[in-house]
């Protein structure tokens, strides 16, 4: 029997900005080799969830584990504690207890299991590494609003993403004594560009590319950091149906050829239903449904969230 490896595990993550709860008690899992999609209406908190996972925000509560190492962990303090406790009386401590009431013994066992994975579970310890450290561990992302380096060429945009994997230090690099490593990395960049089909425009300014190609460039750039998990934030935004199909094939290729795991946020339902193994649905920061595409398509709560019919009918 093959072991299912948890590449990413999001546990009871809440992100609160003052009075606004952007992500409310979200728990998700992504297993090795899967393509998982996070969908939901605009403003549901999907990008915020991404930002918590990649270390841009420190969550108000909860934790994120990557390949069984806890990388992000927090629990509410000060004013947040009060505000959070009101809504989640049992969850405002460092680690959420399971929903059902357990006997004291069972609870202790459960706690010990947690502590084995994360020595700081149930403590006040806050863990919020900077995004670059999380990328070093093997997680890379693209952005909802394309964030390419505008003054640089297509080639350089990908080359810069390889900077963090260098073994040369400042002096060897500054005096150009690292020729071998430089050449090897440039080769890899060319290969990546070939894979995404941008080789012929490699010396063009990154922003001179059409929108769809810029998105592909962002993906190539993320791949250059040699990640295990790829997070794509609306990769098909602004693409026409043809481009979306090509993107779908490409994402599948990322899984099979590059052996990466993919978590994506997307609005294009065809893309999502076509390539996702599992789907999580967010609405107003809360997880309202999860499952395989077929289940989600027929889920009433999901349909309501997108169309808002049931809410109005109830009023």
Partner 1 sequence: MQEMLPYLINGISVGGQYALIAIGYTLVYGILRLINFAHGDVFMVAGLIMVYTSTSMPIYLSLPVVIAATVALGFLIERFAYKPLRTAPRMSLMISAIGVSYLIQNLAFYITGGVPQPVTNMIPWISENVTVLGASTKRVTLVTPVLTIVLVIVLVLLIKKTKIGMAMRAAARDFETAQLMGIKINSVISATFVIGSFLAAIGAMLYFTNYPSVAIGSGGMPGLKAFVAAVFGGIGSIPGAVVGAFLIGLCEEVIKGLGYTTFSDAFTFALLIIVLCVKPTGLFGEKVTDKV
Partner 2 sequence: MKSLKKRENIITAAIVLALLALAMALDILLPGYHIAIKVLKKGAVYALVAVSMNLLNGFTGLFSLGQAGFMLLGAYSYAVLCIPVAKRAGVYQYFDGGLVQFSLPEVLGKLPGMLAALLIGGLIAALLAFLIGLPVLRLKSDYLAIATLGFAEILRAFFQWNALGPITNGSNLLKSYPEIGGALAYILLAGIFIAMIILLVNSTYGRAFIAIRDDEVAAEAMGINLAKHKRMAFIISSFFAGVGGGMLAMYMGAVSALSFKSTMTYEILLIVVIGGIGSISGSVLTSFLYVASLEWLLRGLDSGTFLGINAPGLFKNGFRMAVVSVIIMVVVLFFRKGIMGDKELPDLFKKKPSRKMKKEVAAK
What are the residues binding partner 2 (CB under 8 A)?
Answer: 54, 56, 130-133, 135-136, 140-141, 143, 147-152, 156, 159-161, 163-166, 168, 170, 173-176, 178, 182, 200, 221-222, 224-225
Q: Which is nearer to partner 2, 102 or 173 (CB)?
A: 173
Interaction residues for partner 1, span 118-147 (CB under 8 A): 143
Q: With beta carbons less than 8 A apart as the criterion, state whether 129 and 54 touch.
A: no
Q: Compute the distance between CA of residue 94 and CA of residue 87 in angstroms, rounded to an integer.
A: 15
29 binding partner (options partner 1, partner 2, none; Cβ < 5 to 8 Å by kind): none
Q: Which is nearer to partner 1, 57 or 280 (CB)?
A: 57
* Minimum separation from the CB atom of position 263 to partner 1 (A): 17
- Whole-angstrom distance between the N-terminal and C-terminal Cα of the chain? 50
307 binding partner (options partner 1, partner 2, none; Cβ < 5 to 8 Å by kind): none
* Minimum separation from the CB atom of position 150 to partner 2 (A): 5
Q: Which is nearer to partner 1, 50 or 66 (CB)?
A: 50
17 binds partner 1 (CB under 8 A): yes
Q: Give me Rg for the CA atoms of the chain.
A: 21
47 binding partner (options partner 2, partner 1, none; Cβ < 5 to 8 Å by kind): partner 1
Q: Compute the distance between CA of residue 98 and CA of residue 194 in angstroms, rounded to an integer.
A: 48
Phi-psi region of 33 (alpha: psi -120 to 50; beta: other; left: phi over 0): left
Q: With beta carbons less than 8 A apart as the criterion, state whether 80 and 49 touch.
A: no
Burial class (CB in 10 A: 0-12, 13-18, 19+), 150: exposed
51 binding partner (options partner 1, partner 2, none; Cβ < 5 to 8 Å by kind): partner 1
Q: Which is nearer to partner 2, 66 or 92 (CB)?
A: 66
Q: Compute the distance between CA of residue 7 and CA of residue 32 in angstroms, rounded to an integer.
A: 6
The site that binds partner 1 (CB under 8 A) totals a number of residues, namely 5
Interaction residues for partner 1, span 143-182 (CB under 8 A): 143
Q: Where are the alpha helices (DSSP H) in the chain?
A: 46-53, 78-87, 104-117, 131-137, 154-161, 170-174, 179-196, 211-224, 241-256, 269-275, 293-297, 300-307, 309-314
Q: Compute the distance between CA of residue 188 and CA of residue 138 in angstroms, rounded to an integer.
A: 17
Q: Compute the distance between CA of residue 288 and CA of residue 299 in angstroms, rounded to an integer.
A: 10
Q: Which is nearer to partner 1, 55 or 76 (CB)?
A: 55
* Minimum separation from the CB atom of position 234 to partner 1 (A): 14
* Minimum separation from the CB atom of position 157 to partner 2 (A): 9
Q: Which is nearer to partner 2, 204 or 243 (CB)?
A: 204
* Minimum separation from the CB atom of position 46 to partner 1 (A): 13
Q: Which is nearer to partner 1, 17 or 211 (CB)?
A: 17
Q: With beta carbons less than 8 A apart as the criterion, state whether 255 and 262 touch.
A: yes
Q: With beta carbons less than 8 A apart as the criterion, state whether 262 and 251 touch.
A: yes
Interaction residues for partner 1, span 25-64 (CB under 8 A): 47, 51, 56
Q: Which is nearer to partner 2, 149 or 211 (CB)?
A: 149
Burial class (CB in 10 A: 0-12, 13-18, 19+), 167: exposed
17 binding partner (options partner 2, partner 1, none; Cβ < 5 to 8 Å by kind): partner 1
Burial class (CB in 10 A: 0-12, 13-18, 19+), 103: exposed
- Interacting residues with partner 1 (CB under 8 A): 17, 47, 51, 56, 143
């Amino acid at each position: 029997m093959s072991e299912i490896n948890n590449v990413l595990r999001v546990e009871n993550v809440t992100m609160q900005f003052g009075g606004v709860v952007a992500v409310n008690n979200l728990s998700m899992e992504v297993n090795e080799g899967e393509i998982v999609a996070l969908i939901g209406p605009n403003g549901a908190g999907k990008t915020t969830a991404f930002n918590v996972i990649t270390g841009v925000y420190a969550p108000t509560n909860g934790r994120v584990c990557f390949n069984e190492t806890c990388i992000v962990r927090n629990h509410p303090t000060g004013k947040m504690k009060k505000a959070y406790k009101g809504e989640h009386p049992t969850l405002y401590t460092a680690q959420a207890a399971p929903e059902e009431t357990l006997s004291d013994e069972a609870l202790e066992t459960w706690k010990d299991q947690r502590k084995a994975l994360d020595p700081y579970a149930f403590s006040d310890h806050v863990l919020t590494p900077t995004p670059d450290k999380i990328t070093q561990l093997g997680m890379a992302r693209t952005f909802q609003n394309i964030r390419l380096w505008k003054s640089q060429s297509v080639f350089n945009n990908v080359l810069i993403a390889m900077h963090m994997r260098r073994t040369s230090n400042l002096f060897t690099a500054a005096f150009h004594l690292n020729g071998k490593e430089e050449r090897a990395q440039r080769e890899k960049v060319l290969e990546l560009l070939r894979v995404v089909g941008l080789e012929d425009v490699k010396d063009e300014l990154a922003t001179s590319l059409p929108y769809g190609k810029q998105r592909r460039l962002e993906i190539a750039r993320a791949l250059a950091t040699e990640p295990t998990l790829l997070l794509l934030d609306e990769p098909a935004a602004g693409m026409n149906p043809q481009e979306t199909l090509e993107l779908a094939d490409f994402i599948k290729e990322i899984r099979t050829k590059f052996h990466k795991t993919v978590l994506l946020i997307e609005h294009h339902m065809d893309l999502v239903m076509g390539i996702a193994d599992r789907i999580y649905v967010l609405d107003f920061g809360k997880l309202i449904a999860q499952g395989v595409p077929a289940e989600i398509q027929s889920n009433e709560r999901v349909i309501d969230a997108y169309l808002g019919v049931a809410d109005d009918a109830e009023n």
